[in-house]
């Protein structure tokens, strides 16, 4: 039976569960139990702290896991990234008081508070800068105000928390992260059940980038309409009972779909409908 770890709490957990469920697996817990068994697909889903998942996977205790790339990197575990999931995206920055003009290369001798000590140590070593890393388990942004640190390094999403603490980001992101599927090595993808799991997840992710558009088009503007909706291989075109009219159906990138609808309507297309795609294989 395949054993896969998923985050036990937070936004990363919610996003992972939704994605796995949409891919056709049963991973939801009834309560606070640590294991959910999908008997039909012969998979055990084990709920763990996101920070610990890479450790279990690297030691071969679990076959795969879903966690943040930043957490896997900071754990210094020997794992490989099989696929990004496009959720839980974040950027990791240095931040310091808004009145400061220091840059990361100027941090020599300073104290940097962070929940990701190994990422910070590696980045400072790369820069050739000697600092003191203060490891905290949370609420990093208040550490400067409390006199614990001079600089912080933390995940930044909207930046509102930093602003409220009187801080600003400095320099380029240390790294960008997202939820990803990790394993001990890529050989595991040779197993049919693992490859199926990956492809099902990919199908859901890709489906979120596309929509299905359907419309009726006059024959004389069909060529221009198809330039707007070329589909994946090609669109489906069916004759209508109305003379010189056809029905068109095509997968289209979701981004810009409203502009496409506007253009089709201006060409003379009618009955334009856009529907979601839950999963697909391209």
Distance CA(100)–CA(221), nearest Å, equals 61
Give span(s): CATH 3.30.70.120, the chain. 211-276
Q: What is the largest CA-CA distance in the chain?
A: 80
pLDDT of residue 31: 78
pLDDT of residue 130: 97
| Regions in the chain scoring below 70 on pLDDT | none
Q: What is the pLDDT of residues 75-91, one digit of tens each?
A: 999 999 999 999 888 89
pLDDT of residue 33: 84
| C-beta of residue 173 within 8 angstroms of C-beta of residue 155 | no
Conformational region of residue 252, where left means phi above 0, alpha means psi within -120 to 50, and beta covers everything else? beta
pLDDT of residue 269: 97
Domain made up of 90-177: CATH architecture: 3-Layer(aba) Sandwich (3.40)
What are the φ and ψ backbone dihedral angles of 200, each rounded to 5 degrees? -65, -45
Q: What is the pLDDT of residues 178-197, one digit of tens each?
A: 999 999 999 999 999 999 99
Assign domain 211-276 one CATH number from 3.40.50.20, 3.30.70.120, 3.30.70.890, 3.40.50.1980: 3.30.70.120
Write down the residue that tokens 């198809």 correspond to. Answer: 226
As a dihedral over the C-alpha atoms of residue 176, residue 181, residue 184, residue 186, rounded to 10 degrees, the angle is -100
pLDDT of residue 102: 95
Which residues are CB-neighbours of 127 under 8 A, at least 6 positions away?
104, 105
pLDDT of residue 246: 97
Assign domain 2-87+178-206 one CATH number from 3.90.550.10, 3.10.310.10, 3.40.190.10, 3.10.620.30: 3.40.190.10
Cβ neighbours around 253 below 10 Å, total:
10
- For 277, the 3-state DSSP assignment is coil
């Amino acid at each position: 039976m395949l054993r896969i770890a998923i985050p036990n709490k937070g936004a990363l957990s919610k996003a992972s569960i939704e994605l796995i469920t949409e891919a056709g697996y049963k991973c939801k817990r009834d309560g606070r139990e640590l294991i959910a068994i999908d008997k039909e697909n012969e998979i055990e889903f084990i709920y763990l702290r996101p920070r610990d998942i890479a450790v279990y996977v690297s030691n071969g205790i679990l076959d795969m896991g879903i966690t943040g790339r930043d957490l896997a990197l900071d754990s210094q575990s020997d794992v490989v990234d099989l696929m990004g999931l496009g959720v839980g995206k974040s950027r990791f920055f240095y931040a310091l008081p808004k009145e400061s003009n220091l840059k990361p290369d100027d941090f020599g001798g300073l104290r940097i508070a962070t929940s990701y000590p190994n990422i910070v140590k590696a980045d400072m070593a790369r820069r050739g800068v000697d600092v003191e890393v203060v490891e905290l388990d949370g609420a990093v942004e208040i550490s400067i105000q409390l006199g614990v640190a001079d600089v912080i390094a933390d995940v930044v999403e909207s930046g509102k928390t930093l602003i409220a603490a009187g801080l600003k980001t400095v320099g380029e992101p240390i790294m960008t992260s997202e939820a990803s599927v990790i394993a001990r090595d890529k050989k595991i993808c040779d197993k049919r059940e693992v490859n199926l799991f990956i492809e099902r997840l990919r199908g859901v992710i890709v489906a979120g980038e596309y929509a299905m558009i359907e419309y009726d088009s006059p024959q004389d503007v069909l060529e221009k309409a198809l330039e707007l909706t070329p589909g994946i291989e090609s669109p489906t075109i069916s004759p209508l009972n109305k003379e010189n009219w056809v029905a068109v159906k095509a997968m289209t990138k979701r981004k810009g779909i409203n502009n496409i609808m506007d253009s089709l309507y201006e060409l003379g297309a009618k009955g334009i409908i856009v529907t979601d795609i839950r999963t697909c294989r391209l």
